[in-house]
Copies of this chain bind each other. A is one copy, B any other.
Amino acid sequence: MGKPVRFKHKKKHYTLPEPGTTPGFVFIDSSSLKPKINFYSFSASVFNMVQLNSLLDITNKTKNKDLFYWVDIKGLNSAELFNVFSEELKIHKLVLEDITRTYHRPKFEEYDGYNFAISRMLRLGEDASLENEQVSFIQTKNVLYTFQETYEDCLDAVRNRLKEGKGNIRIGGTGYLMYALMDMIVDSYFSILSKWSEDMDEIEDRLLTRPDKSVMYETQLVKRNLIAMRRVVWPERDKMNDILRSDSHLISEQTKMFIKDAYDHCVQLMDMVESMKEIASSNIDMYLSIISNRMNEIMKVLTIISSIFIPLTFIAGIYGMNFAKQDPVTGKVMPANMPELYQAHGYEYTLLVMAFIALVQIIFFWRKGWFK
């Protein structure tokens, strides 16, 4: 028996604020990272990127209506930062609460003058655990603010496209940029699923060649990851649908065609997740049937050997009894006691009887198909 593979849940234990705090309370988790702010300004022909230390006076910095701006914030540990959003940009405090409490489902909400959205960025950690990070979006006419918890992410491809000005990315406005980031995140789900799919192929190979406990443990682990993935993909699809049905003027019709594409990807992801879950379940069923079969096989070996030899041993035991033909003390002869022992060929006949009994049993088991 192999050692059981331990589930590797790198569970993220959120520091929850006290229950009962004021709704809309911006909660700064002191163990989170200090913000790094990248400030991009771009148009079809312009591209600039600077690092900011604070968002003070951001209204002024983004006042040029010919340019689009992307304020890319990594790390949420700054009360001052959220103060700017609350005071200067008049963002609703429930929005800011949602940004700072990073365990929300994907969603899209329209507010006066801006849209708010949440995506969940999934990543396979080093030990194959699933890391799940919140990315929040505030989109105004010409500025997109994004918030994420950690410094690393899977969005560099979009940053590069922005720098190089490929495709629509510089001319599609903040709506298209938000779409491009969301789409990038959804794309990364495909890579993760594809990794799990390979894992499942490998587990399945093992299931068919040398099934042991680890097959069960690892299949359950994949299944559990799929449950976690599904919890993200379903609301992600709903979010895309909300954007499609929204009549916000901040999302252009052209962008909506791309959102429709991302929506289709979500549906496809759901399909894949559900199919993989079904396959995982069917592998578990198969594993259990293999265990049962193996038990049958073990029991057959035991039963064949026991059934053949126990009666033979009994016969040997009979003739190992010491019933006396002659009393050793009185010398009385008792001819009825075990006369077989005193036949000239008793031993040989006994062996023949034993062989016959064994043969009958072997034929019986053969007929039952136990040797197959």
Contacts and interface: CB of A to CB of B under 8 A. Distances in A.
Interface stretch (A54-62, A122-130, A161-169): A161-169
B301 A302 contact: no
B309 A257 contact: no
Contact of A299 (B103, B105, B298, B340): B298
Given A23-B167, A166-B22, A295-B292, A323 B302 contact: no
Interface string A105-132: 1010000000000000000000000000
A196 interface: no
Contact of A320 (B97, B228, B320): B320
Given A7-B208, A264-B107, A319-B322, A292 B292 contact: yes
Contacts of A287: 289
B286 A285 contact: no
Contacts of A191: 19
Contacts of A24: 167-168, 258
A30 interface: no
Nearest to A215: B289
A246 interface: no
Contacts of A359: none
Copies of chain A in the complex: 5
Contacts of A224: 279, 282
Contact of A336 (B22, B184, B295, B344): B344
Interface in A273-290: 275, 278-279, 282, 284-290
A220 B278 CA distance: 11
A32 interface: no
Nearest to A323: B347
A350 interface: yes
A191 B18 CA distance: 10
A183 interface: yes
Interface residues of A, number: 131
Interface in A217-243: 217, 220, 223-224, 227-228, 231
Interface stretch (A33-41, A81-89, A133-141, A310-318): A310-318
Contact of A190 (B16, B212, B322, B328): B16
Contacts of A298: 296, 299-300, 303, 370
A9 B369 CA distance: 28
Contact of A337 (B16, B21, B318, B347): B347
Contacts of A302: 299, 302-303, 306-307
A188 interface: yes
Given A184-B20, A289-B291, A337-B344, A1 B310 contact: no
A324 B157 CA distance: 90
A329 B325 contact: yes
10 contacts: A19-B154, A20-B160, A21-B157, A23-B180, A104-B268, A291-B296, A295-B296, A299-B299, A310-B313, A334-B342
Interface of A: 1-2, 4, 6-7, 9, 11, 16, 18-25, 92, 94, 97-98, 103-105, 107, 154, 156-158, 160-161, 166-169, 179-180, 183-184, 187-188, 190-191, 194, 201, 204, 208, 210, 212-213, 216-217, 220, 223-224, 227-228, 231, 257-258, 261, 264, 267-268, 271, 275, 278-279, 282, 284-303, 305-307, 309-314, 316-329, 332-334, 336-338, 340-348, 350-351, 369-370, 372
